[in-house]
Structure 1
Amino acid sequence: MYRETIAHAHGTTEGTASEQHATMLLARAARRGYAIEVTTPGGALITWTRHVFGPGENTVVRADRSITLEPFTPVGTLSDTVRADLDLIAGDPHARYAEENGRRVIRGLVWRIPAFTTARLRARGLVVEEEGLVCLSLTAHLGLLAHAHRTRTTTPEGWRRPSAGDPYGSAGLNRPGGRAGMLYGGGSAAVCSCGGLSAFGGDRSEARRLAREHRRAVAAAFVAEQLTPPPGRDRCSCGRCADCLTA
C-alpha cells in the first residue's frame, strides 16, 4: 500500500493507493510522457505540466501537477544478500511457496530461500504471491531501481591559480578580494552508480538536471518494459487512475 498525495488545481489531496492502482498510475504516466522518478524507499514521483486559462482574458498559464507515492512499508536497506535473493525470485518464473517442517520457504527450479529469510522478505513487503507464484512487489522493484541508479554531482573547482603555460593565466589580474590572477571553474560532472551516466555540466545546476534526466529516462524505460499491462488489462478496479492524472 502507498500513501498517495496529488497536487492539483485546488491544492492537495491525500489518500491511499493499492499496488495495482500505483502500477496503473505509473503505466499511464509513462505512456503520456509524464516525468517519473523512483525513490529509495520504494516509491515514486510523477510530475507533469498542464496549460490552463489564467485570470486575464485569453491568458494561458503553466500549471504544475504531481503525484507522490510513498510506501507504508519502505524497502529499508537492500544489502547484497537481499538483492541476490530478490534477483533469484525475479529471474525465475516458477518461484513459489513451499512448506518445510511447518514453515514457509520460497523455492525455484534449482534453488531455495530458507524459512527465516522468506519470513523477512514477506514482513518487509518485498515479495507478493500472484496466481500461486511468488514475485517481487512493486515497492521492491522501485527500491531496487533507485538503488541501482544513485546519481551524484561533483563540486565545482571554484577559484584556482592557473598552472604554468595556461593561456588564460593572465586573465583577471584586477579582480578584487584576493582573486587577482585567478580563474574560476564552475563546471560539475554528473555520474550514476550504474555506469551509464558520465556527463559534464557548465555549472552544478546543469549537472543536476542531467542527473535528473537520466533517472527519469531509466524509470520511464522500466515502467514501459516491466509494468505496462497487456492489452485488455489496462484497467484498475479503483476507477480513479485516470482522474488522478488529469486533476
Structure 2
Amino acid sequence: MYRETIHHATGVTEGTASEGHATMLLTTALRREYAVEFTPAGGALITWTRRLFGTGEGSVVRAERSISLEPEMPVGNLSATTRLDLDLIAGDRHARYAEKDGRRVVTGLTWQIPAFTTARLRARGLVVEDGDRLRLSLTARLGLLAQLHRTRTTEPKGWYRPSAGDPYGAAGLNRPGGRAGMLRDGTSAATCACGALSAWGGDRDEARRLTLAHRREVAAAFIAEHLARVEAPGA
C-alpha cells in the first residue's frame, strides 16, 4: 500500500493506493509523457505542467501538478546480499514458498533461501505471492532501481590561483575583491552509481539537471519494459 498525495488545482488530496492503482498511475504517466522519479524508499513522484489560459488576451499560466506515492512500509537499505536474494526471486518463474523443517523458505528451480532470510523478506514487504509463484513487490522493484541509480554532483572549484605553468593564468587577470590573478571554475560533475552517467555541467544547477534527466530516463524505461506491457490488452 502507498500513501498517495495529489497536488491539483484546488489544493491537496491525500489517500491510499494499492499496488495495482500505483501501477496504473505510473503507466498512465508514461503514456502522457509526465516526468517520473523513483525514491529509495520504494515510492515514486509523478510531475507535470498544465497550461491554463488567463483572463488577459493571449495570457497563459503554467501550473505545476504532482502525485506522490510513498510506501507505508519503506524498503529500507538493501544490502548486496539482499539484492542478490531479490535478483534470484525476480529471475526465476519457479520461485515460490515451500516448507522445510516446519519453517517457510523461498525455493527456485535450483536454489533455496534460508528460513530466517525468507522471514525477513516477508516482514519487510519485499516479496508477495502472485498465484502459486512468488515475485517482488512493486515497492521492492522501485526501491532497488532507485538505490542502484543514486546520483551526485560535485562542488565547483570556484575561484583559484593558477599555477605558474598554467597558460590560462597569464597576466591581465585584474579583478577586484582580492581576486586579482585568479580564475573561476564553476563546473560540476554529474555522476550515477550505475556508471552510465558521467558528465559535466557548466554549473551545479546544470549538473543537477543532468542527474534529474538520468533518473527520469531510468524510470521511464522501467515502466515501459516492466509495467506497461503487463497492463497491455492480452498480456
> Which position in structure 1 is the counterpart of 2:232?
231
Pair 1:169 & 2:169 matched: yes
> Which position in structure 2 is the counterpart of 1:24?
24
Pair 1:90 & 2:90 matched: yes
1:67-119 CA-partner distances (Å, limit 9, x unpaired): 00000000011011111100100010110111122221111000011111111
CA contact (8 A) 1:172 1:182 kept: no
Correspondence 1:78-227 to 2 at 5 A: 78-170=78-170, 173-227=173-227
The alpha-carbon distance between structure 1 residues 99 and 208, as it changes in their structure 2 partners (threshold 3 A), is: same
CA-atom RMSD in angstroms:
1.5
The alpha-carbon distance between structure 1 residues 180 and 145, as it changes in their structure 2 partners (threshold 3 A), is: same
> Which position in structure 2 is the counterpart of 1:61?
61
**How many residue pairs get matched?**
234
Higher relative contact order (CA 8 A, sep 6+): 1
* C-alpha separation in 1, matches of 2:204 and 2:221: 26
* C-alpha separation in 2, matches of 1:56 and 1:132: 61
The alpha-carbon distance between structure 1 residues 156 and 231, as it changes in their structure 2 partners (threshold 3 A), is: same
CA contact (8 A) 1:171 1:182 kept: no
1:30-50 CA-partner distances (Å, limit 9, x unpaired): 121110100010100000111
* C-alpha separation in 2, matches of 1:87 and 1:139: 14
Give the structure-2-normalised TM-score: 0.95
* C-alpha separation in 2, matches of 1:93 and 1:68: 31
Return 5+ residue gaps in structure 2 as ranges.
none
1:183-213 CA-partner distances (Å, limit 9, x unpaired): 0000001000000001110000000000000
The alpha-carbon distance between structure 1 residues 192 and 172, as it changes in their structure 2 partners (threshold 3 A), is: farther
